[in-house]
Amino acid sequence: MSFVPTDPLGLDELLGPEDLAVRDTVRTWAADRVLPNIAQWYESGELPAIRELARELGAIGALGMSLEGYGCAGASAVQYGLACLELEAADSGIRSLVSVQGSLAMYAIWKYGSEEQKQRWLPGMAAGELIGCFGLTEPDVGSDPAAMRTHAKRDGTDWILNGRKMWITNGSVAAVAVVWAQTDDGIRGFAVPTDTPGFSAPEIKHKWSLRASVTSELVMDDVRLPADAVLPLVTGLKGPLGCLSHARYGIIWGSMGAARASFEAALDYARTREQFGKPIGGFQLTQAKLADMALELHKGILLAHHLGRRMDAGTLRPEQISFGKLNNVREAIEICRTARTILGANGISLEYPVMRHATNLESVLTYEGTVEMHQLVLGKALTGLDAFR
């Protein structure tokens, strides 16, 4: 068999026909609907077609795709990962839309909600008719969610919710917000209709990363909720952390999509850009860069495959998710930076995807757990000693 530059390890051989069909469907959708517009959306700092895109993503089964029932596709973890890779190869903001919808908001309701909550929200969310968001991070509380200040107090059979959440993807376009709050019983989750009086979600502007993504603050001032708004099947941090594990898994794959797009842009440029009378891909230093980029890219994809198989087998541990997220995002950023050097000055142009992916990945590096948090998770697992406090 011949060597394939885009698949040097033959990783496609790990995929079955259904896996390939999922990957190709999402890749084609992203090529048709995102890539022709993404540079303009990124430059303008908006995602004007978000509701239309959500419906289209629902139509191809990409929303909550690894969940069972309620209109969800029931896909494997590997298939969901492949979808995340293809979406983030287009833009991290599009993958974030899907991750927050499916792995955070929908997963929280599917895993911890009542049957009534599932029937009310999940079919519309799977179809992309309803958009959801996930409210955990706060303005003064990021990596220490146990210190959250948002609180819910009982008032008869109702709950009164007060607080602020920050850096919330999909917030200002969501129909439902899954909000985590302190209560007298511990941390609880609430499915909050966003048209409830006292709830608002002003959009955050002036971002230099994830510009083609809707990012908001959630503001809750005496939001009165009925008793059945609370997610009944979980109390404590294991609820939001369980959701975050699913979202982090998608990032392991997605970050490799951003890296792949940047690597392929650099490889194509190196083959065609001439300097000193020949393509720059013919010089030793450029070839060394391309070789190193290919190594880290395909090692990262292989790691994602391995963790996906473990998730499908029910044996994936949170520490292993931290392993994957820490490695793959960090290496993806380095691949983008190296790709930028191959493109030279053109690397900062929106004509090419490299700088857009590089700046997006700076956000991906931080959200769903910073580098330091994942290092401490692994450090604790390796030593048996807790260094978080």
Round to whole Å and give the CA distance between 327 and 298: 12
Does 389 score more than 90 pLDDT?
no
| Contact status, residue 41 vs residue 212, Cβ threshold 8 Å | yes
Confidence of residue 99 (pLDDT cuts 50, 70, 90): very high
Does 267 score more than 90 pLDDT?
yes
Confidence of residue 375 (pLDDT cuts 50, 70, 90): very high
Does 226 score more than 90 pLDDT?
yes
The mean per-residue pLDDT over the stretch 101-125 comes to 98
The mean per-residue pLDDT over the stretch 19-31 comes to 98
Which residues make beta-bridge pairs with 180?
A: 189
CA 43 to chain centre: 21
Position 141 scores a pLDDT of: 82
Position 20 scores a pLDDT of: 97
Nearest to 62 by CA among 104, 29, 108, 110: 29
| pTM across the whole model | 0.96
Confidence of residue 143 (pLDDT cuts 50, 70, 90): confident
Position 131 scores a pLDDT of: 98
The mean per-residue pLDDT over the stretch 207-212 comes to 96
Q: Catalytic residues, which ones? A: 368
Position 232 scores a pLDDT of: 97
**Mean of all residue pLDDT scores within the chain:** 96
DSSP states of 85-120: HHHHHH-HHHHHHHHIIIIIIIHHHHHHS-HHHHHH
Position 171 scores a pLDDT of: 97
Position 58 scores a pLDDT of: 98
Confidence of residue 388 (pLDDT cuts 50, 70, 90): confident
Position 145 scores a pLDDT of: 83
Round to whole Å and give the CA distance between 241 and 222: 26
Position 349 scores a pLDDT of: 96
pLDDT digits (tens, 9 = 90+) for 313-372: 999 999 999 999 999 999 999 999 999 999 999 999 999 999 999 999 999 999 988 999
pLDDT digits (tens, 9 = 90+) for 43-56: 999 999 999 999 99
Does 144 score more than 90 pLDDT?
no
Confidence of residue 108 (pLDDT cuts 50, 70, 90): very high
